[in-house]
């Protein structure tokens, strides 16, 4: 923390602190440093906490009904003064308050208040009106360990057969796949005979033996046959959930499908959101595929964010010249570009900045949109202003409209595809992705006329 002294015209270092609050008369400051609180004079030099506040016997008397009433009024007021449209979409906001206030005054739980506030702000008929959090009971959850695999039960012996082991990247803790760790040596088709000494064929469900085992060593008895004889024991460490593994395997399988169907000519990138994770996924897959002849970029189920413009800038780059060095092959300049045609996959779960990305994609004439109409929620939020019990309310504060100034765009409707394809749920569950198949079909057709090769270098000059 630093301060600037306007009289001495000098910046002063106040040291490292975790948080502070200045009093209304600007003479005192509540400061948090190394998990200790203190009230000090407004500092002009290094902050050193000597007289710490003793909070061991601090108590607070809370009137929940008064607090809930204040939160209701605060949420109504915040929406009134921060919603992007001062006309409140034509809704009589004063009348809405009178309609919902009796419900808010009748609630007996913070979750019920959240529901009432959610219904109230829903009257504005717009996305990004999220409400939640607050002073609610925190229940301790016992986590069930996961093994990063799929199982079926043998109908005769009732032991569990491993039908699929999810691939992972075990150097990355978030992508650890327990059955693929060094020394485990378990294969698809093997059977889980026992977990921590308890036979699995006596269990109602094998996961009952994995309750509260996340991050702990668990002994599995495994065999190539559904029987005790000839089995062996291995030690694994279960993970909390398999979502990241399923996503990783889905992306890798899509890359392999596209690669195989196009003889390696076409690249594939899935962008899960338009935040840090999505940007990392884009970078991870974009640069290794720069020399592909075409690209399928997939923003289905994109969770939104704010980096779509950055990705579009990469995808719309145009070649300006060609560079070459001795004993090398030609390369485009700028180098980070894919020359050939592109298509974009979208669906009804492409949301927020995941809506905006395909709109930008079309506006930049980058290629066809394939799939289903996107979610349709693009009126943006900045974060929540504080509520007294730590809850949150998101207020749609800024909207977008067309460059000709004639209409508000995307919100409430989404972005329409150029080619409509709806995945059949049963086929999708079986691994048949009709939207991706259509994208492959379209991009192969476009490669017939739009494939681009770098020109060979001209003859060397004799100077």
pLDDT in tens, 379-429: 999 999 999 999 999 999 999 999 999 999 999 999 999 999 999 999 999
Query: Between 460 and 262, where is the model more confident?
Result: 262
Which among 234, 198, 216 has a CA at the least distance from the CA of 146? 216
Q: Do strands 36-41 and 28-33 pair parallel, antiparallel, or not at all (unpaired)?
A: antiparallel
Asked if CATH classification 3.20.20.140 holds for the domain at 244-377+412-450, the reply, yes or no, is: no
Q: What percent of the chain has pLDDT over 70?
A: 100
What is the per-residue pLDDT across 16-44, written as a single tens digit (0 to 9) for each?
888 999 999 999 999 998 888 999 988 88
Q: Comparing 69-78, 332-341, 344-353, which segment has the lowest mean pLDDT?
A: 332-341
The catalytic position among 74, 119, 128, 434 is 128
- Ranges in the chain annotated CATH 3.30.750: 64-125
The catalytic position among 123, 242, 411, 446 is 411
- Ranges in the chain annotated CATH 2.30.42.10: 154-240
Is 407 an annotated catalytic residue? no
Q: What percent of the chain has pLDDT over 90?
A: 89
Distance separating alpha carbons of residues 323 and 331, to the nearest angstrom: 5
What is the per-residue pLDDT across 292-327, written as a single tens digit (0 to 9) for each?
999 999 999 999 999 999 999 999 999 999 999 999
pLDDT of amino acid 43: 87
- Ranges in the chain annotated CATH 3.90.226.10: 244-377+412-450
Is 109 an annotated catalytic residue? no
Residue with tokens 């991050």: 215
Q: What's the average model confidence in pLDDT over 231-246? A: 96
What is the per-residue pLDDT across 72-99, written as a single tens digit (0 to 9) for each?
999 999 999 999 999 999 999 999 999 9
Question: Does residue 229 surpass a pLDDT of 90?
Answer: yes
Is 128 an annotated catalytic residue? yes
pLDDT of amino acid 140: 87
- For 238-253, letters b (16+ CB in 10 Å) and e give bbeebebbeebbebee
What CATH number belongs to 64-125?
Answer: 3.30.750
pLDDT of amino acid 44: 82
422 torsion bin: left (phi>0), alpha (psi -120 to 50), beta (else):
beta
pLDDT of amino acid 116: 98
pLDDT of amino acid 400: 96
Return the sign of the alpha-carbon dihedral for residues 339, 340, 345, 346: positive
The alpha carbon of residue 406 and the mean position of all alpha carbons in its chain are separated, in whole angstroms, by 33
pLDDT of amino acid 34: 84
Return the sign of the alpha-carbon dihedral for residues 139, 144, 149, 155: negative
pTM tops 0.85, yes or no: yes
What CATH architecture does domain 154-240 belong to?
Roll (2.30)
pLDDT of amino acid 105: 96
What is the per-residue pLDDT across 189-220, written as a single tens digit (0 to 9) for each?
999 999 999 999 999 999 999 999 999 999 99
DSSP secondary structure code for residue 462 in this structure: -
């Amino acid at each position: 923390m630093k301060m600037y002294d306007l009289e001495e015209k000098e910046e002063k270092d106040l040291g490292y602190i975790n948080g502070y609050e200045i009093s209304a008369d600007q003479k005192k400051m509540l400061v948090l440093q190394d998990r200790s609180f203190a009230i000090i004079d407004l500092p002009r030099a290094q902050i050193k906490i000597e007289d710490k506040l003793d909070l061991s016997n601090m108590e607070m008397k809370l009137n929940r009904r008064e607090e809930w009433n204040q939160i209701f009024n605060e949420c109504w007021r915040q929406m009134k003064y921060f919603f992007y449209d001062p006309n409140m979409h034509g809704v009589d906001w004063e009348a809405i308050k009178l309609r919902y206030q009796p419900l808010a005054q009748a609630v007996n739980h913070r979750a019920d208040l959240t529901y009432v506030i959610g219904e109230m702000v829903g009257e504005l008929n717009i996305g990004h009106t999220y409400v939640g959090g607050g002073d609610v009971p925190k229940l301790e959850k016992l986590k069930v360990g996961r093994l990063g695999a799929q199982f079926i039960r043998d109908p005769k012996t009732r032991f569990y057969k491993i039908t699929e082991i999810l691939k992972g990247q075990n150097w990355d803790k978030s992508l650890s796949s327990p059955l693929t760790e060094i020394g485990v040596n378990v294969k698809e088709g093997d059977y889980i005979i026992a977990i921590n000494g308890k036979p699995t064929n006596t269990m109602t469900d094998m996961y009952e033996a994995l309750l509260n085992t996340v991050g702990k060593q668990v002994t599995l008895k495994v065999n190539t046959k559904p029987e005790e004889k000839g089995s062996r024991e291995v030690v694994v460490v279960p993970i909390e959930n398999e979502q990241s593994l399923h996503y990783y395997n889905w992306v890798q399988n899509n890359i392999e499908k596209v690669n195989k169907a196009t003889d390696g000519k076409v690249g594939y990138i899935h962008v899960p959101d338009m935040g840090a994770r999505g940007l990392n996924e884009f970078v991870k897959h974009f640069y290794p595929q720069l020399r592909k002849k075409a690209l399928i970029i997939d923003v289905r189920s994109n969770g939104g964010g704010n980096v779509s413009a950055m990705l579009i800038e990469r995808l719309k780059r145009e070649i300006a010249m060609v560079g070459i060095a001795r004993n090398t092959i030609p390369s485009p300049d700028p180098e980070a570009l894919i020359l050939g045609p592109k298509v974009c996959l979208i669906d009804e779960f492409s949301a927020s900045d995941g809506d905006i990305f395909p709109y930008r994609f079309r506006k930049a004439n980058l290629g066809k949109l394939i799939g289903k109409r996107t979610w349709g929620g693009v009126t943006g939020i900045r974060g929540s202003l504080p509520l007294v019990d730590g809850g949150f309310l998101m207020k749609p504060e800024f909207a977008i409209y067309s460059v000709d100034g004639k209409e508000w765009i995307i919100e409430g409707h989404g972005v329409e595809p150029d080619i409509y394809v709806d995945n059949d749920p049963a086929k999708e569950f079986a691994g048949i992705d009709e939207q991706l198949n259509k994208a492959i079909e379209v991009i192969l057709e476009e490669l017939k006329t739009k494939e681009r090769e770098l020109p060979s270098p001209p003859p060397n000059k004799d100077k």
